[in-house]
Chains A and B, each alone.
Chain A
């Protein structure tokens, strides 16, 4: 448990992707089976349990700790689980619990010969059990002893194993959890107590995506993550066969008849020079839908819905895939569609990143998949075929199967480039994100191959905004104020004007510009809160964004989609920046 806890601890403080990969790869290389497999399950959100802990924890602390001290601690720390992890009192009822560092004995002499540290005694520690904890008294200050053993800190033999805890959790009933948890907490150090409580709630929140954890596993073995993705959904924790395969002790796991993710083919943004060089006759054109890219895989009676990074998101969409059963892997766009019309992205947002989904949401935001490619049909791999051939196979397959809540993405016809340019220019008015250009002869290649698929996004919206707050970045940018919150003007009730924040962006500028903005921020700071500086209204950014929607989560009542710094308007006075009404007028119905 200790190695896993230390990993989570370090991950939670590591801002950079590379540092996280390094930490995880080191862990996976050194941790034994099946612990590392359970750790991988935890990091990829694949643990088969989650416990609502609130009541259990409250009851437990009521028995263990003086309520006033607990409340004051909780108020300071700001998080119940962390407070418990940090302040966890020893089982004998002494918060101060004679730890390893009570040293000098009372002395009236100045020489202090008796004050030798007695820290070494901790090595003989025995874990304390929680039995009878309910009869122990509340916190008292009398436990000055120093004779009780220190709690399970750092003693490898006594270390509880992650896999033991997981195994126990599978055996106990919900009402036994409290007693079992107390016993574990008594045996763990503060970091491990924190990690255990996180583990039980099922949400680690250490800034690691499932994809990143899989990447670390792949890199540990010198492989590409795509090879892990191809087998991932046929495997289950604790992934011993995966590690055995990666380390060369076993063959690739056999996964026939399991719906699995295949790495996606991605496109490049179309630049004017690309457009000039492009021969339209070699390309098919589709609308670029403003939803999220998904892969549908169905086999053996099971259907899965994957995000573009291979995360299984099917649990949020039972209304979509619940009735689907076929044998194919398809590529398409997840959208909210009402009466045949595509709703704005903001509607789809209401269905994303949710653990469960309610009936009301399913009715209010009906989801739909618009298909545009096919990778496999009935076990036949079509990825080497040309796009135009795959399109024929897709149309034929769709005509036969017709899954509910799906349709085919139509091909856009244009006689020549001039006509296609006119169509592209009209996409904003019709609520479409732009166009996709796909070479007719392109095979389905995982990754982002150059020259085969182009995305041609509609021109962005722009707004002149005033910089309000700047936050220090992370990793390489940790000494730079690189994350910017900007605002637009609004009238106040008294007839004055105020800035109201409308968005946040941290890219779109060059390194040289970053240096200049950083300098400006440091010279125009009016206040600061931790890593955030409040600046005087004086710097105008021309902010580009793809769309804007109403939002109840923002003070301004609007949220920008994909905002980035388009230009820095050093020349423009802040007073001449745009007003909130201008932004509100850009909301698409």
Chain B
């Protein structure tokens, strides 16, 4: 019997990102490479300048809208669940539940299966398909919220807190900082699902991503721009990128209640640092219980951690009797979450 290959013999963390040797492709590289598999459309994962890009049709649409139609030499769309062979590696994309079009990358080679999660969450999200679990030998996970203190609240509770505050403060605008791609659309969809049917006002920077979601089939209702408003919008909900919360831009609103939707809002010092009055714990990343249970459910014998708070998670993986390894891949941002 030949000794089974080590995972390192065909999957390697390189300076530009995770590299699959037999397939000759990188996953979410942060520098231009000949061939890239892109898990989702956030700018720290989907960068311009690659020779060929393989991704879900939604991710390709997002890249072409945000980075330009020529942002890669060529595009190959792979629908979720479909299989393609690349240099002897069978590659599939499975839903990751992170945002519209987000995918995990399943790679089968020499009798072993590895799954690179990309960014993911396990909770229901009306704007994207739910995460699908795949049993595997090697699981390559993110760890943005890799500390036991991160246990995100149920999103229904956070939306309930927001709406209660809106009802109690009809003389003030509620200004919510949210990442423009993914988080903003999920928030709007959650508000709609909670029965909020009034217009939701947008900062100009949010317009193109919301229109893109609508084009890709996610209905978000009436989304007028703040710049077209007649008054100072008391009693209304306004969404803006997090950076606009501290900007002079917010002065056009009525004594705004500053809110911020992010997994970081669970920690008080972080919420105070942003100076927000209403922190909303709404995250598109797995929290600690989700990370740990996902690792257990994959039944992987070895787990690599790409980015985030990896020291605690690698320690936890050891406690679970598995081999853990921190890849410390560079180029991923966590602040926008």
Chain A residues in the interface with B (C-beta under 8 A): 6, 10, 12-15, 19, 22, 26, 65-66, 68-70, 72-73, 76-79, 82-83, 86-87, 89, 95-112, 115, 117, 119, 139-144, 146, 153-154, 190, 472, 474-476, 478-479, 518, 530-531
Stretch from B11-19, B24-32, B265-273 contacting the other chain? B265-273
Closest residue of chain A to B275 (Cβ to Cβ) is A531
Q: Is the CB of A101 within 8 A of B290?
A: yes
> Which of A19, A78, A83 is the most central at the interface, judged by chain B CB atoms within 10 Å of its CB?
A19
A-B CB pair tally, cutoff 8 Å: 183
Stretch from B1-9, B44-52, B144-152, B204-212 contacting the other chain? B144-152
Flag whether B123 is at the interface (Cβ < 8 A).
yes
Query: Bound complex: CA of A12 vs CA of B295, how far in Å?
Result: 36
Set of chain A residues within 8 Å of B122, measured between Cβ atoms: 101-104
Q: Is the CB of B258 within 8 A of A478?
A: yes
Q: Is the CB of B130 within 8 A of A103?
A: yes
Query: Bound complex: CA of A143 vs CA of B81, how far in Å?
Result: 29
A-B contacts, 23 of them at CB < 8 A, read A13-B277, A66-B316, A69-B147, A69-B315, A69-B316, A72-B312, A73-B312, A76-B267, A77-B267, A87-B149, A89-B148, A95-B148, A95-B292, A99-B289, A102-B289, A102-B297, A106-B299, A111-B81, A115-B131, A140-B319, A142-B320, A474-B275, A478-B246
Q: Is the CB of B124 within 8 A of A141?
A: no
Flag whether B255 is at the interface (Cβ < 8 A).
yes
Query: Bound complex: CA of A14 vs CA of B75, how far in Å?
Result: 49
**Interface contacts beyond A102-B293, A102-B297, A518-B248: sample of 20 additional A-B pairs, CB < 8 Å, sorted by A:** A13-B279, A19-B277, A65-B148, A69-B147, A69-B315, A73-B148, A77-B268, A89-B148, A96-B293, A107-B133, A108-B135, A110-B80, A110-B132, A117-B124, A119-B123, A140-B319, A190-B151, A190-B153, A478-B258, A531-B273
Q: Is the CB of B275 within 8 A of A95?
A: no
Query: Bound complex: CA of A100 vs CA of B152, how far in Å?
Result: 11
Chain B residues in the interface with A (C-beta under 8 A): 80-82, 92, 94-95, 122-124, 129-135, 147-151, 153-154, 157, 161, 168-169, 246-251, 255-258, 266-269, 271-279, 288-290, 292-293, 295-299, 309, 311-312, 315-317, 319-320
Set of chain A residues within 8 Å of B297, measured between Cβ atoms: 102, 105-106, 144
Set of chain A residues within 8 Å of B271, measured between Cβ atoms: 13
Q: Is the CB of B169 within 8 A of A22?
A: yes
Q: Is the CB of B275 within 8 A of A472?
A: yes
Q: Is the CB of B251 within 8 A of A479?
A: yes
Expressed in whole angstroms, the minimum distance between the Cβ of A13 and any Cβ of chain B is 5
Q: Is the CB of B81 within 8 A of A95?
A: no
Query: Bound complex: CA of A15 vs CA of B151, how far in Å?
Result: 26
Q: Is the CB of B82 within 8 A of A146?
A: no
Set of chain A residues within 8 Å of B257, measured between Cβ atoms: 19
Set of chain A residues within 8 Å of B129, measured between Cβ atoms: 112
Set of chain A residues within 8 Å of B279, measured between Cβ atoms: 13
Query: Bound complex: CA of A478 vs CA of B312, how far in Å?
Result: 36
Closest residue of chain A to B312 (Cβ to Cβ) is A72
Set of chain B residues within 8 Å of A19, measured between Cβ atoms: 169, 257, 277
Expressed in whole angstroms, the minimum distance between the Cβ of B67 and any Cβ of chain A is 27
* Given contact pairs A69-B148, A78-B269, A141 touches B319 in the complex (Cβ within 8 A): yes
Set of chain B residues within 8 Å of A15, measured between Cβ atoms: 277
Closest residue of chain A to B268 (Cβ to Cβ) is A82
Set of chain B residues within 8 Å of A79, measured between Cβ atoms: 268-269
Set of chain A residues within 8 Å of B267, measured between Cβ atoms: 76-77, 82, 86
Expressed in whole angstroms, the minimum distance between the Cβ of B174 and any Cβ of chain A is 12
Query: Bound complex: CA of A111 vs CA of B81, how far in Å?
Result: 7
Query: Bound complex: CA of A264 vs CA of B94, how far in Å?
Result: 71
* Given contact pairs A13-B277, A22-B169, A112-B95, A100 touches B269 in the complex (Cβ within 8 A): no
Query: Bound complex: CA of A112 vs CA of B95, how far in Å?
Result: 9
Query: Bound complex: CA of A217 vs CA of B295, how far in Å?
Result: 51
Q: Is the CB of B315 within 8 A of A531?
A: no
* Given contact pairs A103-B123, A110-B94, A77 touches B149 in the complex (Cβ within 8 A): yes
Expressed in whole angstroms, the minimum distance between the Cβ of A589 and any Cβ of chain B is 41
Expressed in whole angstroms, the minimum distance between the Cβ of B206 and any Cβ of chain A is 19
Set of chain A residues within 8 Å of B168, measured between Cβ atoms: 22, 26
Set of chain B residues within 8 Å of A6, measured between Cβ atoms: 161
Q: Is the CB of B149 within 8 A of A83?
A: yes
Set of chain B residues within 8 Å of A12, measured between Cβ atoms: 268
Closest residue of chain B to A141 (Cβ to Cβ) is B320
Closest residue of chain A to B288 (Cβ to Cβ) is A96
Expressed in whole angstroms, the minimum distance between the Cβ of B312 and any Cβ of chain A is 5
Set of chain A residues within 8 Å of B149, measured between Cβ atoms: 73, 76-77, 83, 86-87
Expressed in whole angstroms, the minimum distance between the Cβ of B276 and any Cβ of chain A is 7
Set of chain A residues within 8 Å of B312, measured between Cβ atoms: 68-69, 72-73
Q: Is the CB of A95 within 8 A of B82?
A: no
* Given contact pairs A99-B289, A101-B290, A106 touches B296 in the complex (Cβ within 8 A): no
Query: Bound complex: CA of A474 vs CA of B257, how far in Å?
Result: 11
Set of chain B residues within 8 Å of A77, measured between Cβ atoms: 149, 267-269
Expressed in whole angstroms, the minimum distance between the Cβ of A10 and any Cβ of chain B is 8
Closest residue of chain B to A65 (Cβ to Cβ) is B148
Select which of A86, A104, A109 is within 8 A of B131 by beta carbon.
Answer: A104
Q: Is the CB of B151 within 8 A of A86?
A: yes
Q: Is the CB of A110 within 8 A of B92?
A: yes
Expressed in whole angstroms, the minimum distance between the Cβ of A137 and any Cβ of chain B is 10
Expressed in whole angstroms, the minimum distance between the Cβ of A488 and any Cβ of chain B is 29
Closest residue of chain A to B289 (Cβ to Cβ) is A96
Set of chain B residues within 8 Å of A104, measured between Cβ atoms: 122, 130-133
